[in-house]
Amino acid sequence: MHRLLAIFALALCSIGQAAGATGSIDSFIAREMAQSGAPGIAYAVVENGEIAKIGTRGVEDRDTGKKVTGDTQFLIGSLSKSFTALAIMQLVEAGKVELDAPISRYLGSFADGPAQSITIRQLLSHTSGYSTLQGNYSHQDRSNAPDELARQVERDAAEAPAYPAESRYEYSNRNYQILGRLVEVASGQDFASYVSANILRPIGMDHSFVSDGAVHPEMATGYAPWFTGKRAISPNQTHRSVAPQGGIVSTARDIARYMQVMMNGEDDVLSAAGKAQMMQPANAAAPNYGFGWVVDPGDGSVGHSGTSPGYETLANMIPAEQKAVVVLLNSGSGTGFGENAALQNGITALALGLDQNGEPSRWQQKALFVSLVLIPLLFLASMAWAWRKRAELRAKAKSGPFGLFSLWFPLVPTLAMVWIVFGLVPGLFGVSMNTLRQFQPDLVLALVACAATGLLWAVFRLALAYIGKRRSA
């Protein structure tokens, strides 16, 4: 699985210039979509600054069978960050925010806190020092109260960043959550109202909205990976507190319009110079990130991905050539099985006229997942074997040091397995176990089952040895 709530590497990083026909996209999807297992897909292609193609396949919801259209609404995940960055830049041009001012100038909760000197530019570029793990922690205690974003950011202000500012680039949702609150304070409007009035409506994104805490049955239903298949996530709940970093709901057609505006070189929702600044490296610590966009100064490509429970998004632009593509899926990726990267990257390569080298083999990830499913069964079988051999276990309890070592040692690696599952694995993904469960419920279930059955097996052996020993005495 890709690192959650972190960005994909741009598909362009591994592909070079070559001839590619957009007309082959639909046939590519027909071949590859079964491997992904995604219920539905929508994509849009921009050529010469105009929307050249909108394509769809599959369904919004498997139960209803409703077909995906160019106006089907998907949660776009972290692509939402570019909208938050655009809102900040509008406020900069309006003289209400300064890029190099500390956040404490605008948000009083930061005034005496450990993050008081972090600047707006550092938040925009993920060089504030906040870690990926800090950015994903907010998923655990969010609510949908109208002031939830403000209350969440107040809690954020009390926590020190993991690293000194501009000492490194580390993608963190915390940065954009804080920026979302800044939009509210600087504009005097709640985040959803500001973005709707100043970005979505002026661009003509009439089928898009900002997460408002309500259930939206009109959205495409999201599907999470579930043991080589996909399981619906219901209902289509939106969350206010994550709106600035990942909570905009949009369509393939609307995102295409948005990318048209970002590439048009005109003064409209933002000045042409402001747009260009957003799509350039923000500082030395972030050579491949601008303001809400992943950038590649080498080939001029700009893009962002989005990963939310049950949804994945990939958008890429080449502004100098007025080319762009967005791919929306109502499906999360599994581990080895049911992954979406090949489908998204293939469409991107074909749409932008680039070479498609294909994806690397995922057999190692598949083997890992299968192993995690089989290990609990092995432990259960070992418990049955221990029951059959309980007399030998009781004999070990009465024997010397070697017998006692063989009896007690399995407790050590099984306790280590518990630590790995509940301590190490979430840290590697940069999320809590609860957040990881939202994205990959099958993986978490398999991991927990491994830890639980392993520890149960080790304790069961000891119980057989010592309880039986007492009774026989």
With a cut of 50, say whether residue 14 has pLDDT above it: no
| pLDDT tens-digit series, residues 203-224 | 999 999 999 999 999 999 999 9
The secondary structure of the chain in percent helix, strand, coil, rounded to multiples of 5, reads 50, 15, 35
Q: Residue 366: pLDDT band by 50, 70, 90 thresholds? A: very high
Residue 374 has pLDDT above 90, yes or no: yes
Is the confidence at residue 308, as pLDDT, over 80?
Answer: yes
**pLDDT for the residue 20:** 36
**How buried is 376 (Cβ within 10 angstroms: 0-12 exposed, 13-18 middle, 19+ buried)?**
buried
422: left (phi over 0), alpha (psi -120 to 50) or beta: alpha
**One-character DSSP codes across 203-258:** HT-TT-EE--SSB-TTSPPEEEEETTEEEEE-S-B--GGGHHHH-EEE-HHHHHHH
Q: How far is CA 12 from CA 3, 315, 330, 347, in A?
A: 19, 11, 23, 11
Q: Is the pLDDT of residue 358 over 90?
A: no
Other C-beta atoms closer than 10 Å to the C-beta of 104 total 18
Q: What are the Cα distances from residue 60, in Å, to 78, 80, 206?
A: 21, 21, 19
Structure confidence at residue 143 as a pLDDT band (50, 70, 90): low
- pLDDT confidence of residue 98: 98
Q: What percent of the chain has pLDDT over 70?
A: 92
Q: What is the pLDDT of the chain when averaged over all its residues?
A: 91
Task: Tell me which residue of 115, 162, 108 sits closest to 135, measured CA to CA.
Answer: 162
Which pLDDT value is given to residue 142? 58
SS3 label, residue 470: helix
Q: Which of 225-239, 316-330, 424-438 is modeled with the greatest confidence?
A: 316-330
CB atoms within 10 A of CB 473: 6
- Position 3 scores a pLDDT of 39
400 pLDDT more than 90: no
Q: Report pLDDT for 429.
A: 82
Spatial CA neighbour of 46 closest among 208, 349, 257: 257
- Model confidence at 120: pLDDT above 90: yes
| Closest to 141 (Cα-Cα) out of 422, 432, 445 | 432
Given the structure tokens 């995940």, which residue do they identify? 77
Task: Give the number of other CB atoms < 10 A from CB of residue 210.
Answer: 24
Q: What is the pTM of this model?
A: 0.90
Q: How many helices (H) and strands (E) does the chain have?
A: 19, 11
Mean pLDDT calculated for residue range 30-54: 96
Largest CA-CA distance found in the chain, in angstroms, rounded: 90
Distance CA 27, CA 19 (A): 17
Q: Is 217 exposed, middle or buried (0-12, 13-18, 19+ CB in 10 A)?
A: exposed
**Of the candidates 113, 114, 177, which has an alpha carbon nearest to the alpha carbon of residue 150?**
177
Residue 88: which of 313, 264, 244, 284 has the closest Cα? Answer: 244
Say if residue 140's pLDDT is above 90: no
Predicted confidence (pLDDT) at residue 4 exceeds the cutoff of 70:
no
The span from the CA of 173 to the CA of 135, in Å, is: 4
How far apart CA 28 and CA 344 sit, in angstroms, is: 11
Question: Which pLDDT score is estimated for 17?
Answer: 33
pLDDT at residue 407 is higher than 90: yes
| pLDDT score, position 131 | 95
Q: Decide if pLDDT at 144 tops 80.
A: no
pLDDT of residue 435: 87
Q: Which domains does the chain have, with CATH numbers?
A: 11-351 (3.40.710.10), 363-472 (no CATH)
Percent of the chain with pLDDT over 90: 81
| pLDDT tens for each residue of 441-462 | 999 999 999 999 999 999 999 9
Alpha helices in 334-440 (DSSP H): 341-351, 363-388, 390-398, 401-408, 411-419, 425-429, 433-439
Contacts of 330 (CB under 8 A, 6+ apart): 38, 39, 40, 60, 68, 74, 220, 221, 222, 223, 310, 311
CB 209, CB 198: distance < 8 Å: no
Q: How far is CA 423 from CA 344, 433, 451, in A?
A: 32, 9, 12
